[in-house]
Amino acid sequence: MSPLSFENTAIAFKGKDDAALRRSYWLFKLIGNPSMVRIGGTLTNFALGIGFPIGWLIKNNIFAQFCGGETVEECKAASARLAEYGIGTILDYSVEGKEKESDFDATAEEIIRTIDAAKGNPHIPFCVFKVTGVARFELLERQNEVVRGTLTQLTEKDQAEWSRVVQRVLHICQAAYDADQRIFIDAEDSWIQDAIDQLCHDMMEKFNHQAPIVYNTVQLYRHDRLEFLKKAHAWAKDKGLHYAVKLVRGAYMEKEGKRAAEMGYQNPIQPSKEATDRDFNAGVKYCLDNLQDMALCCGSHNEESSMLLAQWMDERGIVKNDNRVAFAQLFGMSDHISYNLADAGYNVVKYLPYGPIKEVMPYLLRRAQENTSVKGQTSRELGLILKERKRRGNEDY
């Protein structure tokens, strides 16, 4: 078997015909241009706001590239296409920014629907949710202060609201446990993350005795998180639990820096990209070296980290499809990593965002506008697409 390489565009794009490849090319060209994203975003939001019928345009282009559809049912086609190439799906209900209790209940029910769809389906090995999908942000901020000890306790009203949040999270994790389905809890802003970590650890204490069911997410762009990872593992070990974790670099760097500067506290983000990379790779290695009671998902589009994890597994004699280790990327991005890893026999999954167009579009556009890593990645995607077009003998753009 030839050695693993992310340069192989024939494998990377085998799921895309010429028309799909051309669409990807133009979409990445658009995303790579900040003013186009800004103008396109404003126009799209306006058109959706006044009910202008652009749904078909979005669905056939942006959704086809980055999303599964509007419902779990609609995601089946994209999931089946990924499965053909040995890649698993994570149904990611991407609706955010809600405020009402009824919306939080509805989101919790939707997450349960993703668990039902995943149950017994080997092509959907993980589920996922964000705590901000089932809880009010301001309440999370206050609960965070309680966990940190900067606030003694919540008011009676807040306590009642918080117990409803705990019930939702419990309901979701219980459903995952009953379905024997592993579930990620995404990491978010540092000023609500202690509350999320606490919730997640409470769920691990309930459900991770026999197997890794509930996964926390650790963002290694924070300078304190490698130590956190080790402490959390020691805590779980002490309790006889499986410590399951998704490692990511972190998506909210700009926001974190801005808030820290405005409020005059130390920026929680690492001093440089190199420091983030160093801690991320050290975290990956730490998990591999403690796999007897850990499970790891490497959520990254970074070629070096993905290659290192594959190499380190091989060096340690960990079989490629060991179900304690998974690689994860986002649907429509970094296919050269996903498809080549899957082709070589590693466990690979893709987050497949879905939800009503009107709700998902603002989320996708904001991510494209805010996230420097998305901007940095577009030129790599374009280069790979052009290489594949050339290989196929189609150089008409």
Ligand X SMILES: Cc1cc2nc3c(=O)[nH]c(=O)nc-3n(C[C@H](O)[C@H](O)[C@H](O)COP(=O)(O)OP(=O)(O)OC[C@H]3O[C@@H](n4cnc5c(N)ncnc54)[C@H](O)[C@@H]3O)c2cc1C
**Which 9-68 residues touch ligand X, going by CB under 6 A?**
none
Exactly one of 209, 273, 316, 390 binds ligand X (CB under 6 A); that residue is 273
Q: Are 280 and 249 in contact (CB under 8 A)?
A: yes
**Candidate residues 150, 272, 292, 393; the one interacting with ligand X per rule CB under 6 A:** 272
Whole-number minimum distance, CB 210 to ligand X, in Å? Answer: 25
Among 4, 195, 213, 253, binds ligand X (CB under 6 A): 253
Q: How far is the CB of 37 from ligand X (least distance, A)?
A: 17
Which residue lies nearer to ligand X by CB, 48 or 135? 135
Residue 334 CB, nearest approach to ligand X (Å): 7
Nearest distance from C-beta of residue 147 to ligand X, angstroms = 19
Binders of ligand X: how many residues, by CB under 6 A? 25
279 belongs to the binding site for ligand X (CB under 6 A): no
Contacts with ligand X in 346-365 (CB under 6 A)? Answer: 351
**Shortest gap between Cβ of 300 and ligand X (angstroms)?**
3
Examine residue 89 and tell whether it contacts ligand X (CB under 6 A): no
Binding mask 207-246 for ligand X (x = CB under 6 A): ----------x-x-x-------------------------
Q: Is 298 in the site for ligand X (CB under 6 A)?
A: no
Whole-angstrom distance, CA of residue 365 vs CA of residue 371: 10
What is the closest distance, in whole angstroms, from the C-beta atom of residue 360 to ligand X in the complex? 16
Options 116-124, 271-279, 311-319, 361-369: segment touching ligand X (CB under 6 A): 271-279
- Residue 362's alpha-carbon distances to 94, 137, 167, 278, 340, in angstroms, are 10, 18, 29, 33, 31
State yes or no: residue 250 binds ligand X (CB under 6 A): yes
Cβ proximity of 39 and 367 under 8 Å: no
Q: Which residues pair with 22 in a beta bridge?
A: none
114 contacts ligand X (rule: CB under 6 A): no
Count the Cβ atoms, other than its own, within 10 Å of residue 356.
13
Does 373 contact ligand X by CB under 6 A?
yes
Tell me how far apart the alpha carbons of residues 59 and 45 are, in angstroms, rounded to a whole number: 15
Q: Which of 98, 301, 324, 389 binds ligand X (CB under 6 A)?
A: 301
* Contacts (CB under 6 A) with ligand X, residues 320-339: 328-330
Does residue number 276 form part of the binding site for ligand X (CB under 6 A)? yes
Residue placing its CB nearer to ligand X in the complex, 170 or 308: 308
Contact residue for ligand X among 117, 146, 226, 251 (CB under 6 A): 251
152 burial type by CB count under 10 A (0-12 exposed, 13-18 middle, 19+ buried): exposed
Q: Which is nearer to ligand X, 130 or 142 (CB)?
A: 130
302 is an interface residue for ligand X by CB under 6 A: yes
Residue among 248, 311, 313, 257 at smallest CA distance from 276? 248
The residue to which tokens 């668990």 are assigned: 115
Cα–Cα distance, 182 to 124 (Å, whole number)? 10
Please give the Cα distance from 44 to 61 (Å, whole number). 13
Which residue's entry shows tokens 């509007």?
70
What value, to the nearest 5°, has the Cα angle with vertex 79 and ends 75 and 82?
150
Q: What b/e readout covers 314-330, taking b as 16+ CB neighbours within 10 angstroms?
A: eeeeeeeebebbbbbbb
Q: Which residues bind ligand X (CB under 6 A)?
A: 186-187, 217, 219, 221, 248-253, 269-270, 272-273, 276, 299-302, 328-330, 351, 373
